[in-house]
Amino acid sequence: MKQNYPFQTKVHRDWLPAQSRFAQQGRPFTRVARFKGLVPTSFLVILVLIMSSQLLLAQGRRVSGTVSDNGGAPLPGANVQLKGTTTGTVTDADGKYTIQASENTVLVFSYIGYVKQEVVVSAQTTINVNLVAEASSLSEVVVVGYGTRTKANLTGSVTTVTGKELTERPVPNVQNLLQGRVPGLDVIQSTGEPGRDDASYQLRGFGSFGASNGPLILVDGIIGTIKNLSPQDIESVTVLKDAASASIYGARAGNGVILITTKKGRAGSSEIEYSGSYGISEATRTPELITNSVQYMEMYNSARARSGQTPIYTQAQIDLYRNNSNNPQYPNFNWLDYVLGKGPIKNHHLGFSGGNEKTLYNISFNFLDQNSITKGYLYKRYNGLIDFSSQVHKRIRVGTNLNLSFQDAKAPWLVNDDLLLLSYASAPTFMPFLPDGSGRATNRDFIGNGAGNRSVEEVYATGGQFTKTYNLNAQVFAEIDLLKGLKWISKAGVTFLNSQYKNRQFPSPSYAYQPDASGTYVQVANGNPTFSGLRQEEGRSITKTFFSTLNYTRQFGQDHNLGLLAGFEQQNNLTENIIGQRYDFPNTTIMVLDGSGANNQVTGGTASEWALRSVFGRVTYDYKGKYFVEGNIRRDGSSRFGPDFRFGTFGGGSAGWRLSEEGFIRNSLSWMNNLKLRASYGVLGNQELGNSLVNGTSINGTYPYQDVLSLTAYPYSTLASGAQLTRLVTKDLKWEKTSMLDFGLDIDIFRGLFGATIDWYRRNTSDILSTRADLPSSVGLTPPIVNAGAMQNQGIELELRHRKSFGDFNYGVSVLFHKYNNKVTKLLAPTLGTIEVGQPYNNFFVYDWIGIFQSQADIDSSPKQPSSGTLKPGDLKIRDVDGNGTVGPEDRIRISRFPKYNYSFNLNAGWKGFSLTAFFQGVQGVNTQISGWGYEPFQQGSAPPLRFLNAWSPTNPSNTVPATYLTGYAGVAGYSSTYFIQDASYLRLKNLYLSYAFNEKILKKIRSKGLTVYVSGDNLLTWTNYEGNDPERAGSGRFAQFPQLRIYTAGLSIKF
């Protein structure tokens, strides 16, 4: 009793009852006892004491103790809470606590960076708890090349993104989920168009003039793509950024490596998971154009007059629109509003997982149904994942993994970028259909205007394109424990891609919006299809991979740990493509080539193949968990290079020192939980040459060392007969090589309260493929591609972390920052087009625009301008940089295409079952060159942007907007200038995510293991000075582009 209650008494042992039974407070009780020598007064005293103790127990008693880490160090500020209530406390500076708790209640102990622990209160009043560090801290297992390491043992620059982080941003394409999650990884989404919204990845700068700059992507160790996976199927994504970590992949890792690990089954009870969501998408932003027809017509006439052309609109026509603004015959139509709408997005995921000690399984299905924000575009994607493994013998485990994907897209025959361009190029003076209600499509406003233009509804009426894509990534593996510490792993896989494409076009009549003099609507075009017929393409690619590794690990004594790996890998690819096109079909519904005759048909086909054979190895060693070294080596042989240059050896080494494990740190700086220094150096190759352009010269990436011939009747060949050599070829082409030096620092203090990871790197790429530009034109052949260039990227990556909790409330902040400088360090000549030694790659070379000419006197007193035409007031004024009185090519200035820095920050907070995450991402100091529809006025009749309401005129002496002009006008667009350069810096609220996870009380009622509901918004806000559709897409140089999507989503996830 002294132990359990806050009072003391002495009871003779002969007074204790032989047996007794008491009910709970407030209920009848009975007592049956045998006593020896018990007097009535003593009995009453004992009875009162027992009843008092029962009352105190029902009301709760004091429970106290100490909360420590696994090593016995106290944890100040740890949370101690009564489960299912808001009652709780925190530990003091010595890790001690006191709380009132009734018997059978549950105490929940929690601390940042440690696993929660629950303890049932019984008869004790002292409960001491040792919390264990979470798996997400230093003991976290990180996937690396052909194996795993713990986070504490890593010596390279490696970043891991968990599957849970990916599911907190529900977007259609998983590729875009890595944006802002990995320092040093630039992710640029190509478009918001469904099915085409792939992202390009660039890791630690730009490394080649024409070969691939994208990292190697592996799914469970086999070449694949993240696009074909559902976020719910991904366990983790690991990015190997430094050369030492990536060097185990040799010639394929010149631009880094991304390792995707899919979810596996877990031993224990089976689990069924369903998640579903519904979203609405819209354009993030669109430029504002002039939609007032009278303003448009008058400005168009003014621009034509400036170029010496006659007006396109008569005054009578302008007055019809001015005086009949409420008449649908004379509209002020906004084509952007017409084309861009809202697109629904539906997503469903169903998963089954589980297993026992011998067999594990994970099976899932995913369905995405996404409509575009433009009419007529439908996209559906079906994904399936089957993962199965079994312990068939105490030393042998086998398994298989199948990832299947089918994509079905239907769209107008023009892609959405071009469809949007049509909305820019259409004047506000007419609407999509004639105003008589007949449903006939229009092409222009007046009969004589806009010849050759194409309107939006013409595209919808004249055909469509249909794409079906099948993907399969299939793997089988076997793991054999040969001896203690020695494991043999073999895996074979195939990646299959089949794409089927049809483009069907046919004529359809279109009309002028305004009738002729007799009041009759006149047909002026036939829909303007690019051809009248059917074009069909089919391509397939098969990549086969096999690798086998021996892994040996051993601990010597208590302090020495050794790991050895040796492996072999074989990979080969076959890619084939066929094309057929026929014309003059009898009707518009026929979708097979045999539905038409063979006259003027077009056929073609290509095939290519490559192979790679490799051996590799790795050595790891650590001493006392404080000192770490690692070395990787790989020798690759690639069919992409000539026989004498086919093999290359690549490798790297790294070392780490955990100072926090040293006594002089641990004893004096107990708040320093992790402090590690890292250093690495490695050499990588790049065999991904691609079939792309190198400085404007086509290169055969499969056989770059072989002669290129033009043959008779080859598609697009102008050769009448025979064969013709078209380009000189260098037989000794070899790998582009990348060497990288990296220094890193990892630090965590106050048990996860604050943390940081810092990396500095220098990446040098040599033997870059470049055009041999020093040959005279008299050679008569295209100059060869040679290994002649070199480039350097030097940068710093920073990740800052902070998290804390107060009772039921917790929050966290993370900040990512990446800055790098790029420069070309070697060419055959000092310059190659816009590429210069000592400068960033491919600078903009432009004249410096400094204002607008206000008068003829202003023109006469200024330096001679680069314009080839006669200058007029309202034209651009260009700076004479060297001050010689003439603005020439030497006065052009250089402007880098590379951003000053990239950054992102993530804010998250939780309270009870609620969770809120806000994710911001931005780019600062990036410039882009833009022109054309939406930026320049009247390209193909396109409406000017609103800023031209402030255009220069004799009565409006603007110094920022030139006089209205036609595309190509020499005084503005006759040369490249900073007038066409815009700052595309931006900060964007990429995602806002609010969820609620139901508590155990409710879950028990519905017999569920977990239920979460959420709402989410993607690309909600954007801060930028860029005038175009989307600053993230600004790098392509086109102003009129299909924007990214703003998406509002609601969904739920439930487990049984």
Above 80 in pLDDT, residue 59?
no
H helix count then E strand count, the chain: 12, 53
Average pLDDT over every residue of 237-244: 95
Supply the pLDDT for residue 217.
93
- Strands (E) located in 206-301: 216-219, 222-223, 234-240, 257-262, 268-283
- Give the CA dihedral 683, 209, 773, 698, nearest 10 degrees: 110
CA distance 189 to 109: 43
Supply the pLDDT for residue 690.
56
Above 50 in pLDDT, residue 797?
yes
Instruction: List, in sequence order, every residue forming a beta bridge with 623; answer none if it has no partner.
Output: 560, 627
Supply the pLDDT for residue 774.
74
Q: Do 799 and 814 meet the contact criterion of CB atoms below 8 Å apart?
A: yes
Judged by average pLDDT, the poorest of 321-325, 742-746, 805-809 is 805-809
Judged by average pLDDT, the poorest of 312-316, 366-370, 834-838 is 834-838
Residues 608-628 pLDDT 10s: 888 999 999 999 999 998 999
Alpha helices in 916-1027 (DSSP H): 970-973, 1000-1006
Q: Which positions ≥6 away from 561 have C-beta within 8 Å?
A: 553, 554, 555, 620, 621, 622, 623
φ/ψ (deg, to 5) at 949:
-70, -20
Above 60 in pLDDT, residue 512?
yes
DSSP letter string, 138-207 = TT-EEEETTEEEEGGG--S-EEEEEHHHHHTS--S-GGGGGTTTSTTEEEEE--SSTTT--EEEEESS--
CA distance 860 to 872: 10
Closest CA to 736 of 255, 215, 217: 255
Above 80 in pLDDT, residue 456?
yes
Judged by average pLDDT, the poorest of 161-175, 468-482, 707-721, 1037-1051 is 707-721
Task: Select the highest-mean-pLDDT range: 37-41, 234-238, 586-590.
Answer: 234-238
CA distance 24 to 55: 9
CA distance 113 to 136: 8
Above 80 in pLDDT, residue 44?
no
Q: Do 406 and 468 meet the contact criterion of CB atoms below 8 Å apart?
A: yes
Name the average pLDDT for the chain: 86
CA distance 638 to 648: 9
Q: How many CB atoms lie within 10 A of CB 542?
A: 16
CA distance 275 to 651: 44
Supply the pLDDT for residue 528.
81
Average pLDDT over every residue of 164-189: 88
Q: How many CB atoms lie within 10 A of CB 803?
A: 16
Closest CA to 140 of 113, 120, 109, 179: 113
Supply the pLDDT for residue 1021.
94
φ/ψ (deg, to 5) at 892:
-70, 145
What is the percentage of the chain residues whose pLDDT exceeds 90?
A: 55
Strand ranges of the sheet holding 61-69, from the earlier edge strand across to the other edge: 96-101, 61-69, 129-131
Supply the pLDDT for residue 111.
81
End-to-end CA gap in the chain: 45
Q: Which residue has the higher pLDDT, 17 or 683?
A: 683
Angle (nearest 5°) at CA 525 between 519 and 531: 165
CA distance 135 to 139: 5
Above 80 in pLDDT, residue 700?
no
Above 60 in pLDDT, residue 179?
yes
**Domains of the chain, earliest start first:** 13-59 (no CATH), 61-129 (2.60.40.1120), 281-291+333-847+898-932+967-1055 (2.40.170.20), 849-891 (no CATH)
Q: Do 533 and 583 meet the contact criterion of CB atoms below 8 Å apart?
A: yes
Sole residue written with tokens 């598609």: 715
Above 50 in pLDDT, residue 21?
no
Closest CA to 132 of 87, 71, 78: 71
pLDDT bin (cut points 50, 70, 90) of residue 637 is: very high
Angle (nearest 5°) at CA 175 between 172 and 176: 75
SS3 call for 497: strand
AA identity, residue 54: Q
Residues in the chain: 1056
Residue 54 is classified by DSSP as: H
CA distance 872 to 494: 65
Supply the pLDDT for residue 717.
53
Average pLDDT over every residue of 415-441: 89
Above 50 in pLDDT, residue 694?
no
pLDDT bin (cut points 50, 70, 90) of residue 999 is: confident
pLDDT bin (cut points 50, 70, 90) of residue 697 is: very low
Residue 851 is classified by DSSP as: E
Average pLDDT over every residue of 943-957: 93
CA distance 270 to 371: 35
Residues 814-844 pLDDT 10s: 999 999 999 999 988 888 878 899 999 989 9
Sole residue written with tokens 């983790």: 236
Average pLDDT over every residue of 14-32: 36
